Each structure stands twice: as structure tokens, then as C-alpha cells.
Amino acid sequence: MKITARATLVALVLSLCHTGFVFADESAEAEEAYKRGDYAEAAKWFRKAAEQGDAVAQYNLGNMYSDGKGVPQDDAEALKWCRRAAEQGQADAQYSIGLLYAYGGLLDYAEAYMWFSLAAANGTEELRDRAFEDIDFVASMMSTATIAEAQRQFFEWKPRKE
């Protein structure tokens, strides 16, 4: 049996579509469990989608670690998952990382400044307004040189795909 290039392409497209549907199914399961207050179940489903590269699931899982919902509270795990989403350009995750660095257990105002700046650049108007307020706060705690370095990092930052 001879496999044509067209048949290979069709098989590839169908496999990619199937993967997308699994993403949607896992995210839907996670959201339903979260709405029911079954945070452990939600975390299980968000993790499945997050491990496949779903930025929204990564962000949600990171927030669950930050809040200790369905998983042990763990700022390092929260950062890990939010960073994976943020590096894909997910503005809410960028903002969450800023919060971890500005107010959480990972205190680093320069990092917070950079991540809040990214959230402001990439987010909705509401998120942008919140991020600017937080930028003002962290800037008040930083030297001029540190602000300049954080701004340099912001301008050099580029999103990555998983």
C-alpha cells in the first residue's frame, strides 16, 4: 500500500484536531470541577491540559498553587506554571507572576516591575489599570538604576511557544 503525501497530511491534520479536542475536554472538565468547588479534581484536569501546553490551564493551575486550592500552597509551583503560561504571552499569568514577586513569598521588585509591565502591555484595559497601579507601588520601592534594568528586560522580552 502506497501512502501519499496527501494522506499523510490528512492524518496529521486529524491528529492535531483530535489533540485540540482533548484540550477542550480537559479544560471543560477542570472548569466544571472548579465551579463545583472540587478543587482537587479541577487541579487534576488543569494539570492534564497544562502539561500539553495549554496556557490558560497553566495559568489556572498556577493560581491554584498560589491559593492552595486543591493542591498544597506553593509559590514555587505557582511561579513554575504561571511562567509557562506567561512565556506564551498569557497576560493574566504575567500579572500573577508580578503579584508573586511584589507581594508573595518571592519578593523581587525588579521582577515584579517587569512582569506587571508585560501584563499592562498585553492585557485588557482592566488588567492594564491594575498593573499600572502595581507598577507605581513597586517603582516606589526601587532605585532609578533598578527601574532602568527592569524596563530593559521588559523591552527585550519575547514570548515563547511550548
Tens digits of residue pLDDT in 17-47: 333 333 557 778 888 888 999 999 999 999 9
| 10-14, 23-27, 89-93, 144-148: segment of lowest average pLDDT | 10-14
Q: How far is CA 13 from the centre of its chain?
A: 27
- What does the angle CA 130 – CA 134 – CA 137 come to, to the nearest 5 degrees? 145
Write the single-letter amino acid at 7: A
pLDDT of residue 133: 97
Distances (CA, A) of 79 to 3, 4, 17, 55, 121: 46, 45, 30, 13, 20
Report the percentage of the chain scoring pLDDT > 90.
73
What CATH number labels 1-86? 1.25.40
Q: Is the pLDDT of residue 146 over 90?
A: yes
Q: Please tell me the distance from the alpha carbon of residue 118 to that of residue 124, in angstroms, as a whole number.
A: 12
Q: Is the pLDDT of residue 9 over 60?
A: no
Higher pLDDT, 130 or 4: 130
pLDDT of residue 24: 59
58-76 mean pLDDT = 96
Higher pLDDT, 86 or 104: 86
- Block residue for cell numbers 487541579: 43
State the average pLDDT for the chain.
85
Phi and psi for 74 in degrees, rounded to 5? -155, 105
SS3 assignment, position 53 = coil
- Block residue for cell numbers 482533548: 22
Q: Please tell me the distance from the alpha carbon of residue 155 to that of residue 12, in angstroms, as a whole number.
A: 37
48-58 mean pLDDT = 94
In the structure, what pLDDT confidence band is assigned to residue 1 with cuts at 50, 70 and 90?
Answer: very low
User: What are the CB-based long-range contacts (under 8 Å, 24+) for 67-70?
Assistant: 69/39, 69/42, 69/43, 70/38, 70/39, 70/40, 70/41, 70/42, 70/43
pLDDT of residue 159: 87
Q: Quick one: 29 exposed, middle or buried, by C-beta within 10 A (0-12, 13-18, 19+)? A: middle
Q: What dihedral do alpha carbons 78, 118, 86, 16 form, nearest 10°?
A: 160
User: Domain locations in the chain?
Assistant: 1-86, 89-162
SS3 assignment, position 37 = coil
